[in-house]
Chains A and B, each alone.
Chain A
Amino acid sequence: MIESSIVAIEYKNVYKKFEGANYNAVSDVNLSIYEGEFITILGSSGSGKTTLLKMTNRLYDPDAGDIILFGENIRDVDAVLVRRRIGYAIQQVGLLPHMTIAQNIAIVPKLLKWDKERIDNRVRELLTLVGLDSDEFLKRYPHQLSGGQQQRVGLARALAVDPKIMLLDEPFGAIDAINRLHLQDELKRLHSGLKKTFLFVTHDINEALKLGTRVIIMNEGQVCQFDTPKNIIKNPADGFVKALINSHREQEKLWEGLI
């Protein structure tokens, strides 16, 4: 499953505690993620999964520990520069409502001062890549798109400057079940063609196991298990992971009972 021996993201003894909280949001996380992996981070709300993700592009800074991207400690790099190198996609609210689809996708290329022709070409290329007709969508505004279409635009925007690392924070959280399955399949297809490292946060165990080449399971700020989906099902590391898998099995029983 591991596609390369180059370490893309490394977390070393990472801690994060929010002001006023009396527990660690993220506690002693140590992980190595290789280039080209599709990592899903699974946990319930408050598990620290989003905090871990947001520390990766310095939206938050850890209280202790180091985060190293391709050998470079991001503590030593200007936060703005770190973010421009990383693709970042969140639920559809992340599209800027006052900008057209084309302008939204062009944000980071513009920040990096690409010339207009290069930006225009890239925007069209990206829309095609995420399965949207560019002539139809370029000049529309986010509110004129369905949730699924907005999410595709969000992905296109995150991919705009061809970042090596993509952070995806529950990007399909607000999408209906059918469209969600489509988007998951397409994201998998995108990943396999791109040789990028994906870090994908979700609270949906199906999504985590379906998309991840390896899955990080988090609870109360700590990593319970980091392994391939198969190994997680075969050998759950602790009671929490067991409970998580069992809860899903319970749901399956419900289905079997109904059929």
Chain B
Amino acid sequence: MELIQFAQRNYSILLRALSEHVQMVLIALILSVALAGMLTILAMFFKPIGKFLIYLSSIIYSIPSIALFALMIPLPGLGLGRATAITVLVLYNQFILLRNFITGLNGVDHAIIEAAAGMGMKPTQIILKVRVPLSIKSIFVGIRLALISTIAIAIIASFIGAGGIGLLVTIGLETNNNNRIIWGVILSVGLGIVANAILVFIEKRIKR
């Protein structure tokens, strides 16, 4: 009851936190997929680059997020705020996305690739018209995992002033306000569930 009353009194705060969070997550996800996509195409042409990128991104992924946020602040053009948060989120996502994209694209049956080449498809055509459609499942798994992880890690971003749902939790902790903390958790989990459901739906539509 108390929770609902809290929400009724503070719905504008909750809504703002949610919309900030959704924006941050969406921007980070779009940039992440674009970057990972380009790196994956690069990796298709130069095999060793793919291995190196997966290795490098795995190291970044193993840095605690709160430390990485802190490390980014002094970099020129970043500082406190959303830009730094998004940069970190994009960096984290590279491991999840690259691993799924590259292993997916490399996993396509070699005989199919050779048949496509034998018909006279160019290397880029083979990637876009054969490899990508045939590894769409792996690509989508990567995007889904990245989305869920971004929603969670973005909570921490409130520590560097990026706003979002995390702010509810941090202020809740500072002011010893359990209602805020619990609403932070509810919104975060709810957002994760809804986002996952939307992607599963899109995935099914694409796969016919």
Contacts and interface: CB of A to CB of B under 8 A. Distances in A.
A83 B134 contact: no
B130 A57 contact: no
Interface of B: 109, 111-112, 114-122, 125, 130, 133-134
Interface in A57-83: 57, 59, 80-83
Contact of B119 (A54, A81, A107): A107
Given A82-B120, A91-B111, A95-B115, 14 more contacts: A83-B117, A83-B119, A88-B115, A90-B114, A90-B118, A93-B109, A93-B115, A94-B118, A96-B112, A96-B134, A98-B134, A107-B119, A111-B125, A157-B119
A208 to B, nearest CB: 22
A46 interface: no
Contacts of A95: 115
A90 B111 contact: yes
Contacts of B119: 83-84, 88, 107-108, 111, 157
Contacts of A81: 120
Contacts of B121: 80, 107, 111
A196 B151 CA distance: 61
A131 interface: no
22 contacts: A54-B118, A59-B118, A81-B120, A82-B120, A83-B117, A83-B118, A88-B115, A90-B111, A90-B118, A91-B111, A94-B111, A94-B115, A96-B112, A96-B115, A96-B130, A98-B134, A107-B119, A107-B121, A108-B119, A111-B121, A157-B119, A167-B118
Contacts of B125: 111
Contacts of A88: 115, 118-119
Contacts of B133: 98
Q: Chain A, interface size: which category?
A: 20 to 34
Given A88-B115, A90-B115, A97-B112, A111 B120 contact: yes
B205 to A, nearest CB: 15
A98 B122 CA distance: 18
A93 B112 contact: yes
A218 B15 CA distance: 75
A94 B122 contact: no
Contacts of B118: 54, 57, 59, 83, 88, 90, 94, 167
A81 B109 CA distance: 24
A96 B111 contact: no
A117 B112 CA distance: 27
A154 to B, nearest CB: 9
B135 to A, nearest CB: 10
A59 B109 contact: no
A158 B134 CA distance: 22
Contacts of B134: 96-98
Nearest to A169: B118
A19 to B, nearest CB: 14
B120 A59 contact: no
A82 B109 CA distance: 23
A234 B116 CA distance: 41
A198 B154 CA distance: 62
